Chains A and B, each alone.
Chain A
Amino acid sequence: MPRRVLGLLSGRIAVGVLIAVALLAILGPLLAPYDPLEGGSDLLAGPSGAHWLGTDYLGRDVLSRLLDGSRVSVLGSVQVALVALVAGVVPGILSVYLGAVFEWVTLRLADTLIALPFLVFAVAVTALLGNGIPQAMFTVGIMISPLFYRVSRAATLAVARSPYVEAAIIAGASVGWVVRRHVWVKVLPPIAVALANTAGVGFVVVSSLTFLGIGVQPPAPTWGGVLAADLGYLTFRPWAPLVPTFLIMATAWACNLLADAIRDVSGAAGRTLLLEKERRRVAA
């Protein structure tokens, strides 16, 4: 699969951008030229040799804040996606196989989560688990998980009754075999697309929670937090939100591109592509 994704130009671009984002997350805090929390006397300054991206309303260096905040932002986003994935996809696939009781319970749970007001739930969870980034991300992940549950369940249902799955069962296959061999490939592409959408949502949600003092505490920088702060001073620095917006968009866009590439190469279409290539290589 990875080889096939990289076989596509869009796949290579997506992976390239995501690697850059990952490097930013790892090295960002080390590269920051100033202390991201240290205010200066120069408030809301434009770009200059000293401050490439200017300073914010407390005189803090914006570039440093963005670089320093990238680790928290990216890790948070990844955590949201992973929680949503595990909490949604696993019960989504299993709901087709583990019998009527499990199916009923998980369906009702998913409905309940969709019906819960997001912020109330987030506040309740932080009250319960304490305030912190992992807790906040966990909450967001759980709130998004019904999407993954629905997507993976629908894809699994479509495969579960097909004759080739019955043929495998008649040959003595276990549920695990059927899922690994037949279901997984068909469920993966829609999940990849849902995952890519989630990653973009993750950045924005983190910042909206920051407003409420949930998760990331205000002085600590995040991409979403910088964006929110910039929006408050549009009259002074109208161009400022572009930079954090670009970072968030580029990441979300790369995720979507990757999801598309995965969808294109998985399943029969992708294999035909690869088999054709191999055949040509053998012939040559």
Chain B
Amino acid sequence: MSLLEVSDLDVHYRRRRGRLHALRNVSLRLDPGETIGVIGETGSGKSTLARAVLGLVPPSSGRIVIDGEQVSSYGKRQWQAFRRRGILQYVFQDPLRSLDPDLTIRESLAEPLRIQGRTGENVRKYLDRVRLSEDLLDRLPAELSGGQRQRVAVARALVSEPKLILLDEPVSALDAANRVKVLELLKELRDAGTALLFISHDLGSVAGIADRIAVLYQGELVEDGPTRQVITEPRHAYTKLLIDSVPTLRKAVTA
């Protein structure tokens, strides 16, 4: 059984004149432990896809099934109950704003557990897992660097032991050293069996850890296949353009 199954998903926003189709007929499957990279540029609908899977945007039509539950038909209460199972977590792009500036790292980490009614005492080990010192537990986000904060955000996503983590441009705002650290971490998670849905505008940064690549273009899924195949034999013209556009060191030297 798939962990995440999106079928024929349509999302449109009402505008003053007519409708804006953010997503059109998108179907996507993700098996347990699998990592998929969803690539899309500005206006591709990638953020809408993430928000729809998270239940923050209602689908106009189509189905979303997560871990056997058809969440696309859920109301507010059912969503809340589903979310408290802790199956699904999210890591945001902007590490500066994704932690409450008034809460200590300990409190931020414990929050998902406390929402579930658990004590949230045992968050220490998750800092270890993202290779941060336990000394940071009683600090405030403002005392941490951007890279540390993003690793705390990853740790917060881990405390409920989710089966699926959505990542929205998790390394775009970081410098090279921290990008490598966070990517390393994500690779470990993948190897430990957590499914990742990695959303990015940059094919280059996703290719290294994704089993499969899906390409969104103007709200439609134009390509979906194993990473190697998508990169070496892209079928859609847009994917080809995308691949030609990514700056690589190799191209630079052979050009």
Physical contact A–B (CB less than 8 Å): yes
Which residues of A are in contact with B by a Cβ distance under 8 Å?
162-164, 166-174, 177, 181-182, 185-186, 266-268, 271-272, 275, 279
B54 contacts A164, C-beta separation under 8 Å: no
CA distance A268 to B116 in the complex (A): 25
User: Is B56 positioned at the interface, with any CB of A under 8 Å from its CB?
Assistant: yes
A267 contacts B83, C-beta separation under 8 Å: no
Nearest to B95 among chain A residues (CB) is A163
Are A172 and B83 CB-contacts (below 8 A) given A167-B98, A275-B138? yes
CA distance A168 to B86 in the complex (A): 11
B102 contacts A171, C-beta separation under 8 Å: no
CA distance A172 to B90 in the complex (A): 12
Instruction: Enumerate chain A residues within 8 angstroms of B90, measured Cβ to Cβ.
Output: 166-167, 170
Are A170 and B98 CB-contacts (below 8 A) given A181-B111, A272-B142, A275-B138? no
B140 contacts A275, C-beta separation under 8 Å: yes
- Within 42-95 of B, Cβ neighbours of A (below 8 Å) are at 54, 56, 80-86, 88-90, 92, 94
Instruction: Enumerate chain B residues within 8 angstroms of A272, measured Cβ to Cβ.
Output: 140, 142-143
- Taking a contact as CB atoms closer than 8 A, the residue among B81, B89, B97 that contacts A162 in the complex is B97
- Taking a contact as CB atoms closer than 8 A, the residue among A168, A186, A266, A275 that contacts B111 in the complex is A168
Number of A-B contacts (CB under 8 A): 79
Q: Count how many chain B residues have C-beta atoms less than 8 Å from C-beta atoms of the other chain.
A: 36
Task: Identify which of A172, A186, A272 gathers the most chain B CB atoms within 10 Å of its CB.
Answer: A172
A268 contacts B102, C-beta separation under 8 Å: yes
User: Is B27 positioned at the interface, with any CB of A under 8 Å from its CB?
Assistant: no
Nearest to B107 among chain A residues (CB) is A181
CA distance A235 to B104 in the complex (A): 61
Instruction: Enumerate chain A residues within 8 angstroms of B116, measured Cβ to Cβ.
Output: 171-172
Which residues of B are in contact with A by a Cβ distance under 8 Å?
54, 56, 80-86, 88-90, 92, 94, 97-104, 108, 111-112, 115-116, 138-143, 153, 156, 160
CA distance A186 to B103 in the complex (A): 12
A166 contacts B56, C-beta separation under 8 Å: yes
Instruction: Enumerate chain B residues within 8 angstroms of A266, measured Cβ to Cβ.
Output: 102
Are A163 and B88 CB-contacts (below 8 A) given A171-B83, A172-B116? no
Q: Please, could you name 9 A-B residue pairs with CB atoms under 8 Å apart, sorted by A?
A: A166-B56, A168-B115, A170-B54, A171-B83, A171-B160, A172-B116, A177-B115, A271-B140, A272-B143
A164 contacts B115, C-beta separation under 8 Å: no
Are A275 and B104 CB-contacts (below 8 A) given A170-B54, A172-B83, A172-B116? yes
CA distance A172 to B81 in the complex (A): 7
- Taking a contact as CB atoms closer than 8 A, the residue among B84, B97, B142, B143 that contacts A164 in the complex is B97
Instruction: Enumerate chain A residues within 8 angstroms of B108, measured Cβ to Cβ.
Output: 164
A170 contacts B100, C-beta separation under 8 Å: no
CA distance A172 to B77 in the complex (A): 10
CA distance A267 to B101 in the complex (A): 8
Name the distance in Å between B142's Cβ and chain A's nearest Cβ: 6
Closest 4 CB pairs of A and B: A172-B83, A172-B84, A171-B112, A163-B98
Are A173 and B102 CB-contacts (below 8 A) given A162-B97, A163-B97, A272-B143? no
Instruction: Enumerate chain B residues within 8 angstroms of A275, measured Cβ to Cβ.
Output: 104, 138-140
- Taking a contact as CB atoms closer than 8 A, the residue among B80, B86, B88, B104 that contacts A271 in the complex is B104
